[in-house]
Structure 1
Amino acid sequence: MSRIRVTMGRLRGRWIETRPDLPYRPLPARLREAFFSHAGPTIEACHFMDGFAGTGLMGIYALSLGASHVVFIEKDPRVARLLEQNLRRLGLADRTDVRVGDIQRVLTRPPAVPMDWVFLGPPYDFPTPRLEAVLERLVRYDWTRNDARLGVQRFKKSPAPRATGWTLYGTLAHGDDVVYLFQRTAESFGSSGIRESGSSGIRESGSSGGSGSPPSGGRPCGLRPPNRSVREHPDGTGFAETFHR
């Protein structure tokens, strides 16, 4: 048994139990912190989904940062048992729903409340067409709000998935991993898939997180617009953050 320490939020300093012999791949620490720094206050009071959850690292971070409820989806029963043990030990079980099974089948049963944020961390070899089908089901089966955000972890050489109802607005990249960032859109894209929100991007080297404030009014976790400026300040870490305008 090994452990990963939580480094953000009210659970900072607590440990998540992991098992190296089980088939899951946690998001590297730098990208994990960059993702939640980007999300910022939009995590507070939100409904969050951790798909391909493994031992629940991303969902537990969301809860640590104030998410009101998290749905975890994990196919492997052994991993799901360890996830449930982590949730009980951290006192989080009453704010979570663990669903065990193939994610495409699980998504045919929508939650009582749609998600504000979704994170998907499939295996490197998970076929892109199947991943795109998952994105489409998040819309078709009412898993996500009309302004929901989505992060998708992929191998750095893998293209961004394309699916009707999602607009790619940025990427977070470090080492062999990239997180593609999407927002729900009400537009219809037909069979051509997503429309990127711009062809030019601004790259940032460093681990600084998102800036700006969520819009006033609406529910507590109101999401800020995806288009934003990013200053360049290379620091040699190899981390890159790109947003489209």
Structure 2
Amino acid sequence: MRKPSAKPEHNGSGQLRIIAGEWRSRQFTFPMAHGLRPTPNRVRETLFNWLAPHVPGAHVLDCFTGSGALYLEALSRGASSALALDSNPAAISSLRQILTTLKCENGQLLQVDALRHLEGQAATPFDLVFLDPPFGKDLLEPACALLEDKGWLASDAWVYTESEAAPSALTLPSTWRLHREQKAGQVYYALWHRLAKD
């Protein structure tokens, strides 16, 4: 798996390849930044195999989009809309250029602090959410709580997480059930299914 550079400068670029769907095999560059961990192709392929029946027509939210790998993959595979959040202006600018190149009109981008944005009430619930926050900043569990408490999730939404801690060690909403998990290097990848409340 690719790891961020240990050098103090972060103005390099990485390569992103869309695996499948409408934009299959298209390649793009994205700006590298401190703490950025693009989801490896192998893990991304496994994740979207798990999600295959649920992506077409889905409303997707990518809370810490970074390179945009998961966001673009979901749009390529038929998501009806997708919203990406990131506080890094270079990441959002890069993704905006990619959407223009792809002539994609159903992708939205916001340069915001994800947790602050999630503190607001959702206008429309999302069917699929990606959570791949920078590690070491205590962002994952608060983001999960806000997604649940502020109405961001559809009744049977799917939530993907990347974490340093094992899924069993995370404190997540009681309505979420672990569906699949995998570990690559020191990173845990997990897919959760939200069960509608009675």
CA contact (8 A) 1:55 1:86 kept: no
1:123 aligns with 2:123: no
1:11 aligns with 2:23: yes
Normalising by structure 1, we get a TM-score of: 0.69
In structure 2, C-alpha distance between the alignment counterparts of 1:77 and 1:95, rounded to whole Å: 20
In structure 1, C-alpha distance between the alignment counterparts of 2:125 and 2:196, rounded to whole Å: 15
Secondary structure of the residue aligned to 1:27 is coil
1:159 aligns with 2:169: no
CA contact (8 A) 1:48 1:62 kept: yes
Q: Please name the residue that 1:114 is paired with.
A: 125
Greater Cα radius of gyration, structure 1 or 2 = 1
Q: Deviations over 1:45-82 (max 9, x none)?
A: 10111111013110100011000000101011222111
Select the residue among 180, 187, 195 that pairs with 1:170. 180
CA contact (8 A) 2:14 2:29 kept: yes
CA contact (8 A) 1:110 1:142 kept: yes
Q: Deviations over 1:122-163 (max 9, x none)?
A: 122232xx42111111111111101001010123xx132222
What is the percentage of aligned positions where both structures have the same residue? 28
In structure 2, C-alpha distance between the alignment counterparts of 1:145 and 1:25, rounded to whole Å: 27
1:99 aligns with 2:110: yes
In structure 1, C-alpha distance between the alignment counterparts of 2:158 and 2:102, rounded to whole Å: 26
Secondary structure of the residue aligned to 2:53 is helix
2:128 is matched by which residue type in structure 1? Answer: W
1:75 aligns with 2:82: no
Select the residue among 43, 47, 53 that pairs with 1:41. 53
Select the residue among 150, 153, 156 that pairs with 1:144. 153
Q: Please name the residue that 1:241 is paired with.
A: none
CA contact (8 A) 2:83 2:110 kept: yes
2:184 is matched by which residue type in structure 1? Answer: H
Cα deviation, residue 21, structure 1: 4.7
Normalising by structure 2, we get a TM-score of: 0.84
* Count of residue pairs brought into register by the alignment: 183
